[in-house]
Amino acid sequence: MRVSILIISVFFLLFSCKDDNKMMDEISKIDINVNIERFDIAFAEATPDDLPQLQNTFPFMFPRQYDDAFWVAKMKDTLQLQLNEETLKKFPVLETETKEIKQLFQALKYNFPTFKTPRVITTTSDVDYRNKVIVTDTIAIVELDTYLGKDHFFYEGLQSYIVANMRSEQIVVDLANAYAKKYVLNTKRKNLLEEMIYFGKLLYVKDKIIPFKTDAEKIGYTPEQLDWVIANQEQMWQYFIDKEVLYSTDSKLPNRFINDAPFSKFYLAEIDNESPGKVGQFVGWQIVTAFMENNDATLADLMNTPAQTIFNKAKYKPRQ
């Protein structure tokens, strides 16, 4: 009996891998051209006389509330000059980033056929780490000074859990997350379960559009943090059940279990110091994955399926 089950499991695994390989081959053939426009370099090299041409080429980079005198002063600003120098030192070229962004756009086009390739613009932002990327229907802006590496002196004074993902490897992950937010229906979330499922949907979309990234990178964990949540998944789920927090509307719960933080707040000394933040996102990811594996649902179906329906049909069982 066990031999039969093993044979069946191997059979399905082989066919699943074959299907995945076929899909990846189809995605790689999608005609997408990515040309990253280096506004950061153009601005760094510009003189006041070049300002009209820059404004004509990149009008969306010059908000109307700032007059020309502001931008001329910025060209000479000491901090801006240092930002220019450090950004160019870290990113003289963007070969790896261009390749990964192309793969992202190809997967977006495959999974969401209405997707149109945007202009990709790089800039600096006075290290605005809360807005590292900005995407619209027509442009994608990457603020390169927020990806200089977790040990860069610009980031001194910032908490370690924030700077941990201020590195080049996370550029395409942050872009993927921004695009996932455009496709996942963002309804008002009334309880912890709905928060978990929403972020689980975002992470599942990232599974589909950046499969070349590790699970740790997708959620913004170190490999050790990912190992911890996998190993403690059953205990975390039992805590949520025992404390009856899944349907709680307590406004403190997202900060405890959903939002980026140095650790999650179970209020258990033996767990809190070891746990990473965002454990609720991770559990939501597993619930959404279980829903997709146990139901005949498409990605489009997932986007509009309510959290409660997903939870009911997921038949989620934490890994032991």
Q: How much is the average pLDDT of 291-308?
A: 95
Q: What is the pLDDT, as a whole number, of residue 10?
A: 55
User: Do 303 and 246 fall into the same domain?
Assistant: yes
Residue 27 domain-assigned (yes or no): no
The verdict on 141 and 209 lying in the same domain is: no
For 261, which DSSP code? -
Same domain, 56 and 112: yes
139 in the same domain as 70: yes
Q: What is the mean pLDDT of residues 24-35?
A: 91
**pTM of the prediction?**
0.92
What was the pLDDT predicted at 156?
A: 96
What tokens were used for 276?
């990473």
Over residues 141-183, the pLDDT tens digits come to: 999 999 999 999 999 999 999 999 999 999 999 999 999 999 9
Q: How many angstroms separate the Cα of 112 from the Cα of each of 22, 34, 174?
A: 18, 18, 18
179 and 225 together in one domain: no
The four Cα atoms 88, 89, 92, 96 give a dihedral, to 10 degrees, of -110
Q: Are residues 143 and 252 in the same domain?
A: no
Q: What is the DSSP string of 142-171?
A: EEGGG-S-TT-GGGTTS-HHHHTT-SGGGH
Split at pLDDT 50, 70, 90, the class of 57 is: very high
Same domain, 224 and 130: no
Mean of pLDDT values over 97-103:
98
Banded model confidence at residue 14, pLDDT cuts 50, 70, 90? low
Domain count across the chain? 2
CB contact burial 44-81 (16+ within 10 A = b; e otherwise): bebeeeebeebeeebeebbeeeeeeeebeeebeeeebe
pLDDT at 25: 86
Question: According to the model, what pLDDT value does residue 29 have?
Answer: 87
The reply to whether 171 and 263 lie within a common domain is no
Q: Answer yes or no: is 222 within a domain.
A: yes
Q: What is the mean pLDDT of residues 248-267?
A: 95
Whether residue 31 is contained in a domain is answered as no
pLDDT of residue 3: 52
Q: Which two structure tokens, joined as six digits, stand for 275?
A: 């746990």
How high is the pLDDT of residue 20? 67
* pLDDT exceeds 60 at position 15: no
pLDDT at res. 186: 86
Q: Which of 183, 202, 219 is the last residue of a domain?
A: 183
Q: What distance in Å separates the CA atoms of residue 156 and residue 185, rounded to the nearest whole number?
A: 37
What percentage of the chain carries pLDDT values higher than 70? Answer: 93
**For the range 18-26, what are the long-range contacts, defined as Cβ-Cβ under 8 Å and sequence gap of 24 or more?**
23/110, 24/211, 26/110
- Tell the residue number behind the tokens 């809190």, with chain if given: 272
pLDDT of 261 above 70: yes
What pLDDT was estimated at residue 5?
Answer: 45
The reported pLDDT for the residue numbered 8 is 52
Q: Give the pLDDT score at 187.
A: 83
Are 45 and 150 found together in one domain?
Answer: yes
Write out the two tokens for 54: 């820059």
% helix, strand, coil for the chain, step of 5: 60, 5, 35
pLDDT per position as a tens digit, 182-233: 999 888 999 999 999 999 999 999 999 999 999 999 999 999 999 999 999 9
Domain that holds residue 280: 192-314
The length of the chain, given as a count of residues: 320
Measured over the CA atoms of residue 78, residue 83, residue 86 and residue 91, the dihedral's sign is negative
Is pLDDT above 50 for 304?
A: yes
- Residue that is last in its domain, among 183, 211, 229: 183
Is the distance from CB of 55 to CB of 62 less than 8 angstroms?
yes
214 and 97 belong to one structural domain: no
- Give the model's pLDDT for residue 7: 60
The mean pLDDT value of the chain amounts to: 93
DSSP symbols for 23-74: HHHHHHTS-----EEEHHHHHHH--GGGHHHHHHH-GGGS-TTS-HHHHHHH
Cβ neighbourhood burial of 288 (10 Å; 0-12, 13-18, 19+)? buried
What's the mean pLDDT in 51-70?
Answer: 96
Same domain, 177 and 45: yes
